Amino acid sequence: MEKLALFDVDFTLTKKETLIAFYAYLVKKKPSLLRHLPRAIGSGLLYQLGINKEKRTKELFLAFLKDLPMETVDKLTDDFIEDELKHFLYEDGIRKVKELKDKGYTIVLTSASPEFYILKLKEIFDADYVMGTRFLVKNGAFASIMDGENNKGEEKVRRLFEIFDKEKIDFKDSYMFSDSMSDEPLLALVGKPYLINYKKKNPKYPVLYWR
């Protein structure tokens, strides 16, 4: 049976929230993108007030990329990965991925962050599969419209079973690593669940502290 090592990305393998870091990186390269900041802040406030769901919040936030050709988005994300993201990864996380890969585990990165840049972590971590939140492309340009659901919570489980036959997975000997209990559906699925740098009292699962 197949043994999985599942990893969340933001604040599990990275020290920062990648989407915010991506926007900040682009603003440094093109300060005019600051004009999108009020919309980004507003979308966050509407989410906190319960007016907008997380799906709509992400769509509004990513409007700064709307209508850009995907070739341009791809180049921007390549630069972001090389110049920024590689430098805020947890070394302990990198080592854990390699350790489990060497032991024969199938490495799966699963994130709520946009798939258009999360997919680029496949090579960095030598992952077998990478899943993120999908966004539509229309006429070769980024549409800022989510394709399906936000890859979070139960959606991560559903996406996992799009790829794997659950009858062929050794869940008891599989791992899940996450910084957040929003990943409870996956944490509860495996026999070896771990929370990363978790600060709340009385954690339900063992906590690892990564640097």
CATH code at position 117: 3.40.50.1000
CA quadruple 200, 202, 204, 205: dihedral positive or negative?
positive
User: Residue 197 — φ and ψ, nearest 5°?
Assistant: 50, 35
pLDDT value for 29: 87
Per residue in 54-97, pLDDT tens?
A: 888 889 889 999 999 999 999 999 999 999 999 999 999 999 99
CA–CA distance, 27 with 17 (Å, rounded to integer): 16
Range of the domain at 12: 4-208
Distances (CA, A) of 166 to 2, 133, 149, 151: 9, 22, 21, 19
Distances (CA, A) of 146 to 26, 27, 57: 21, 23, 10
Q: Identify whether the C-beta of residue 195 lies closer than 8 Å to the C-beta of residue 25.
A: no
CA–CA distance, 42 with 73 (Å, rounded to integer): 24
Per residue in 123-154, pLDDT tens?
A: 999 999 999 999 999 999 999 999 999 999 99
Per residue in 45-61, pLDDT tens?
A: 766 766 667 888 889 88
Helix or strand (DSSP H, E) at 36? none
The number of folded domains in the chain is 1
